[in-house]
Each structure stands twice: as C-alpha cells, then as structure tokens.
Amino acid sequence: MTAAVLTGQGHAFPPARDQKTVWDGFFAARSPGNPVAETLFLHCGIETRHVVVDPMEEDVSDWGTGRRMERYAVEARSLGRDAVAAALADAGLSPGDVGLFAVVSCTGYLTPGLDILISDDLGMPASVQRLIVGHMGCYAAVPGLAAVSDYVRAHGRPAVMLCVELTSLHVQPAESAGDIEQLVAHALFADAATAVVVEPDAATGLELLDTAASTAPGSAPLMTWAVTDHGFRMGLSPKVPDVLSVHVGGAVGDLLKPHGLDASEVDRWAVHPGGPRIVDVVEDRLRLGTGRLDVSRDVLRDNGNCSSGTVMLVLDQVRRAGVAPGESLVAMAFGPGLTLTTALMRQR
C-alpha cells in the first residue's frame, strides 16, 4: 500500500497580545470587582495570544454575524495563503504539485470558499480537488489529516491540509460578560493558520499509520459552538476534563491495540492543549510521566488554544525537536461531542 507521509508544515499568525494586557485593557471592565473572573483569565496557562481583532483597538462584540464573516473572509484568506505557502516550501514542493487541498475551519463561512480562493491565489492547478471540513471544532485536524492521507494513498499525489481559526472574531456582547463559560472561552481561544503537506511514499517524514475517534455518550451538551446573530457562541462546561479523564485511556487503547502497542510504548506525544487541566488529565490517566507533554503546555502558553490548528502546532514543535527513525508518535485532540480523535504516526 502507498504510504501517506507528512513532509512539511507551515504556520501564519496575526499580531501577538499579552494575556494580562488584554485582561486589563478590555475584559476587566466587563467583570468589575470579580476576583474569580480575573483569576480564571490570568491563570489559564496562557501568556500571549495571536488575534486578528485586538479588542482594545476594535470592539466587535456588537457586530452581527454577517459583518464578522466579511472580516473572516479577508483575514483567513491572507493567513491561510501564507501558512500553505510555508508548508509547501518546507516540503520542497510547488503549488502545481498539489492534488488535493483541504481546509479545516469552524470559525467562519464563505462561498466560494477558502479552498477556491487560496488555491487560486497560490496557483494550484485548476484540476486540484478540494475539501472543506467545517464546524467540527478543536478535534477536526485529525479527521482532516485522515481524509487527505486517504487521498494520497488512493491517488499517489501530494495533498495539503490547512487549519485556519479566527476565534477573536467571536467576542460576545457585553451582556454575557458575567457568564463564566464565556469568560473562559474568551480567555483560552486565539487565532492561527497552520498547514501540513502529505506525500506518497516519501523517504523521510511522519507516516500516518492509523486514526481513531471516540465520542463520550451523553456528553453533547458539555461543549457547544452555536451560530448566533452576534457571531458564534461557545458553551464550555467545567465537567469537560472529568469526562475526558474517563474516556481518554480507552480512546488511546482503541488506536494502539490493533498495532500491538500500548501507551507506555509510544515515543512521542502531540496532545491538543484545550486548557491546562486537559493536559494534566491526559498526562495522569495515561501515566506518561512528568515532562512528556511539556510541548503542549508551551504551545498553550505562547499561542493560546487555536482550535483545530493547535494540535498541528504541537506536532510541528515535536517534529522540529527531532523524532528518530522508527519512533512512534500519537497526536490527540478533543472537541464537541465530546469527541476524542487520535492519530498514530511513525518516523521514516
């Protein structure tokens, strides 16, 4: 069988803002005299974030969804184009080599979509196949990677997956300021575009061996992402880490058992840092030991939770730190459902 091998990655970020500066300059006024709110915002594991909309310079909280989507079309196109170009350069390919271009996003809609606009901007062939993976949330990069890898195996041509998320466009109206779920969402989420290149039978790179998914029964209300008249509104229960703690061991086992592995035998981990408690839960339940998920914590600290692209940012840092030939790697992400998605890779 043709192997699907990840050979390149690239990212693009809007300007960075300091977490405390954002609190002091905007969100503190929405929760006056609320020490719980301040603690939540300033102790969520984030020091800096990247945003296309700086709330201290441009308050979009009263914008309608249509206006937000107009802004998404401009910003996502620019960032996505830069991320894809960087990923192709990292892989040593040109836009003309691409057979499939997939775009993953849950923070905006437009038609013609980013798959059309960015492929045209970069000069991909008119015959390039295109795919949109929409509104799946933070776990979407893994099924997106599975889809492009299936294409590579079936057609023997390179594919590109782009994750582009602009959560800063979805600051909610001031009347929701006292909603703790909204405050946590505003504290955690940030913006980024990240792209990966997958090639057939490449001599070096991370070969995708398998993917798996598991949805916790009865957990759908715990994490939601609803389209409203004022952008997209996050619902985020504090029970999420506890539910994940029950299911993460089984989800990883479902991925590894067919390959004769267990968690103790995995060499590298790229875990989506949905928040600091999420990382702690995974580390504890899988008995990974101190330091195995430090890259996840670093990405959260420096970038915030960038939804679908975050696990790809972690994966890139793990790659660039060095994965020896033959070593195994598990990528893992979580999102609405509650859904856990996992991918098993091996360095060639």
User: Measuring CA to CA, how many Å separate 215 from each of 138, 248, 250?
Assistant: 14, 10, 11
Q: What is the pLDDT of residues 93-120, one digit of tens each?
A: 999 999 999 999 999 999 999 999 999 9
User: For residue 34, what pLDDT band results from cuts at 50, 70 and 90?
Assistant: confident
pLDDT given at position 285:
95
What's the whole-number mean pLDDT along residues 148-176?
95
| Statement: residue 334 has pLDDT above 90 | yes
CB 16 within 8 A of CB 134: no
Fold classification of 4-200 is Peroxisomal Thiolase; Chain A, domain 1 (3.40.47)
| Statement: residue 18 has pLDDT above 60 | yes
* Domain 206-347: assigned CATH number: 3.40.47.10
**Where do the domains of the chain lie?**
4-200, 206-347
User: For residue 32, what pLDDT band results from cuts at 50, 70 and 90?
Assistant: confident
Domain 4-200 and domain 206-347, same fold? Reply is yes
Q: What is the pLDDT of residues 184-222, one digit of tens each?
A: 899 999 999 999 999 999 999 999 999 999 999 999 999
More confident residue, 344 or 34: 344
SS3 305: strand
Q: Cis link prior to 112 (omega < 30° from 0)?
A: yes
pLDDT above 70: percentage of residues in the chain: 99
User: For residue 289, what pLDDT band results from cuts at 50, 70 and 90?
Assistant: confident
Q: What is the pLDDT of residues 118-157, one digit of tens each?
A: 999 999 999 999 999 999 999 999 999 999 999 999 999 9
67-76, 107-116, 170-179, 193-202, range with the lowest pLDDT = 170-179
Which pairs count as long-range contacts for 317-320, CB under 8 Å and 24+ apart, including other chains? Answer: 318/268, 318/269, 318/270, 319/9, 319/206
| Statement: residue 178 has pLDDT above 70 | no
Report the alpha-carbon distance of residue 218 to residue 222 in Å, rounded: 9
| Statement: residue 91 has pLDDT above 70 | yes
Count of residues for the chain? 348
